[in-house]
Amino acid sequence: MQDLTSEILELVRLTSTDLPPDVEAALREATQAEEPGSAARNALDTILMNVELSRRNSTPICQDTGTPIFFVRYPEGWSTRQLRAQIENAVAEATRKAYLRPNAVDSLSGKNSGNNLGDDHFPTVHFEEVEGEALTIELILKGGGCENVGAQYSLPNAALGAGRDLAGVRKVVLDAVHKAQGQGCAPGILGVAVGGDRGTSYLASKEALLRRLDQPSDDPELAELEQRLTQEANQLEIGPMGFGGKTTVLATKMTSLHRLPASFFVTISYMCWAYRRRKMTLRNGQVSYE
C-alpha cells in the first residue's frame, strides 16, 4: 500500500494556510455589499488581507487551527488502520511545522498532547469504502469558536413555534444564527442536517460543509430553503464579526437523513469565515488537490 504521509501533510498545509477560492470569492463579493468605511467593510477587508498573507507565507489563516476532521473514501483493498497511521503522522508533522497549533487537550487533566494526537477521535477520521479506483481525502479544520455555537433542536419546539416540517426547520436555523451573534466569527457558513439520530445528524451537518459554496442541495426543496435561509440570516444585521451589516452568512448547505417516526432533529454546524476545507484525490498514482 502506497505511503501517503507526505501528500497528506501537503493537504494539511493547504487547508490551514490557503482558503479555498470559492470562499475567498464569496468574501470579496460580500465586501461590495457593505458600506465603505463601515466596521463591517473594514472587518472583511482585514480578513481578506490576512487570507492573502497566509497564502503567501504558508502560515495558518487563523490562530485556532481547529479540530482536524478527515473524510476518507477509499477503494477496496486499502487498510484503514494504515491510512489512519499515515494521517496521524502527517498531523504530528504539520504541528511540528506550525501549520497546525497544538490543539488536542486531555479533557480531564487539561494536558495538551503537543502534537494534535489524542484518543481515537483526535484527529477525527471518517472512513468509507467506495467503488472505483480513486481514493479521496477531504479535510475540514473546524475552529472552536464556531463549533461552540453549533446547535441541535428536537422538533416540535413549542417556544419557537417550530413544527416538524421545513417551516419549523427554517425557524430553528434562524434561531441558531441569532443566538450565535457576536460569537463564531461571522460571516459563517451553515451546515444543516434534518433527521437522523443525534449523532448521525451532527455528522451529516458537518459533511454538508464539504460542498462548495456554489453547489446547492440536489433536493429542490432543500436548495430553495438554503437560498432563503442565507438571505434571511443576512437580514438579521449581525454582520461580519458581529459589527452589524449585511453579511452574516455566506451560504447554507443542507442535507436530510431518514429518522425514527418519534424523532425530528435539526442540527446546525456553524462554520466561521475561516472555512478551511480541502480535498486530495489519488488516481492512477497521481495526487491532485482542490
Instruction: Give me the residues that bind ligand SF4 (CB under 6 A), please.
Output: 62, 64, 66, 143-146, 184-185, 272-274
Contacts of 261 (CB under 8 A, 6+ apart): none
> Min. distance of Cβ 107 from ligand SF4 in angstroms?
19
Closer by beta carbon to ligand SF4, 50 or else 112:
50
- Which of 155, 185 has the CB closer to ligand SF4? 185
Query: Please, are residues 92 and 115 in contact by the beta-carbon 8 Å criterion?
Result: yes
- When CB distances to ligand SF4 are compared, the closest residue is 143
Q: What is the DSSP string of 223-239?
A: HHHHHHHHHHHHTT---
Q: How far is the CB of 98 from ligand SF4 (least distance, A)?
A: 16
Least distance from C-beta 31 to ligand SF4, angstroms? 17
278: nearest Cα among 16, 51, 5, 6: 16
Nearer to ligand SF4, 53 or 167 (CB): 53
Kindly tell me which of 23 and 169 has the beta carbon lying closer to ligand SF4: 23
Q: How far is the CB of 59 from ligand SF4 (least distance, A)?
A: 13
Cα gap 251→22, rounded to integer Å: 11
Burial of 91-130, coded b for 16+ CB within 10 Å and e otherwise, reads bbbbbeeebbebbbeeeeeeeebebbebeeebbbbeeeee
User: Residue 163's CB: how many other CB atoms inside 10 A?
Assistant: 15
Considering the complex, state which of residue 66 and residue 168 has its C-beta at the smaller distance from ligand SF4: 66
Q: How far is the CB of 141 from ligand SF4 (least distance, A)?
A: 8
